Amino acid sequence: MARTEVERPAAGLRRAGPVIAGLRRSIGGATARLFLPALAAVMVGLVLLVAARHGASEAGQQLVNGLQQGAIYALVAVGYTMVYGIIELINFAHGDVFTLGAFYSILISELLGRTVHLDLGSLATSGLAGLVVALAILFPLTMLMSGVTGVVIERVAYRRLRDAPRLAPLITAIGVSFLLEGIMFAGFGSGNVQAGKGGWIHGTAFTIHGVFVGWKELFVIVVAAALMVLLHQFIHHSRLGKAMRATAQDRDAALICGININRTISATFFIGSALAGAGALIYALYYNLLQWNLGFNLGIIAFTAAVLGGIGNIVGAGLGGFLIGLVAVYGADLVGGQWSNSIVFSMLIIVLTFRPTGLLGVQVPDRA
Partner 1 sequence: MPDAPPRQPEPAGTAFWLLALGGLLLVVTGWLLPWFVEPTSSGVGFSGQDAAVSFNGPGTLLLDLLGVCMVCLLVGLAADAVRRRRSPQSPLPLTRARGAIALAGAALTLLIWYIVGVQRAEPLFGTISADAIADNAVWMTLTGFLVLAFAYGLRGWVLRHGGVALAIVAVCFGAAFPFIFNASNNGIDIIVWGAQFAGIYTLLALGLNVVVGFAGLLDLGYAAFFAIGAYTTASLASSAHGVHLPFWVLLFAGAAVAGLFGVILGAPTLRLRSDYLAIVTLGFGEIVPDMATNNAFNQTGGPNGLSGVDQPSLFGHNFGLFGINPKPYFYAILVLIVLVILVLRNLERSRLGRAWVALREDEIAAAATGINTVTTKLLAFSIGASVSGFAGAFFGAMLGSVGPENFSFAVSVTAISTVVLGGIGNITGAAVGGLVVSFVIFWVLPHLQGWGTTLGATTGVPTLGTIDYSKYTYIVYGVILIGIMLVRPSGLIPSRARKIELQGTQTESLAATQGRS
Q: How many CA atoms lie within 13 A of 338 on its CB side?
A: 0
Can residue 157 be called a binding residue for partner 1 (CB under 8 A)? yes
Q: Does 251 bind partner 1 (CB under 8 A)?
A: yes
17 binds partner 1 (CB under 8 A): no
Q: Smallest gap, in angstroms, from Cβ of residue 308 to partner 1?
A: 9
Contacting range for partner 1; rule: CB under 8 A; set: 32-40, 101-109, 136-144, 177-185: 177-185
Nearest CB to partner 1, comparing residues 225 and 352: 352
Q: Does residue number 5 form part of the binding site for partner 1 (CB under 8 A)? A: no
Cβ distance 83 to 157 under 8 Å?
no
Find the radius of gyration of the CA atoms of the chain: 24
Among 68, 74, 84, 109, binds partner 1 (CB under 8 A): 84
Instruction: Check if the beta carbon of residue 201 is closer than 8 Å to that of residue 216.
Output: yes
**Minimal distance in Å, beta carbon 187 to partner 1?**
9
Near partner 1 by CB under 8 A: residue from 11, 20, 21, 164: 164
Task: Based on the shown chain and the rule CB under 8 A, indicate whether residue 317 belongs to the binding site for partner 1.
Answer: no
Q: Least Å distance between CB 112 and partner 1?
A: 27
What is the CB neighbour count within 10 angstroms for residue 92? 23
In three-state secondary structure terms, 212 is strand
Among 22, 29, 175, 199, binds partner 1 (CB under 8 A): 175
Total Cβ atoms within 10 A of residue 293 = 15
By the rule CB under 8 A, 35 interacts with partner 1 = no
Q: Please, how many CA atoms are within 13 Å of residue 223, restricted to the half-sphere of its CB? A: 25
Q: What is the dihedral of CA 249, 254, 260, 261, to 10 degrees?
A: 40
Closest CA to 105 of 148, 149, 142, 147: 142
Query: Rounded to whole angstroms, how far apart are CA atoms 144 and 146?
Result: 6
Is residue 7 near partner 1 by the rule CB under 8 A?
Answer: no
CA–CA separation, 132 and 145 (whole Å): 20
Q: Which residues lie near partner 1 (CB under 8 A)?
A: 84, 88, 90, 156-157, 159-165, 167-172, 174-183, 185-186, 251-252, 254-256, 261-262, 296, 300, 303-304, 307, 311, 336, 338-339, 341-342, 344-346, 348-349, 352-353, 356-358, 364, 366, 368
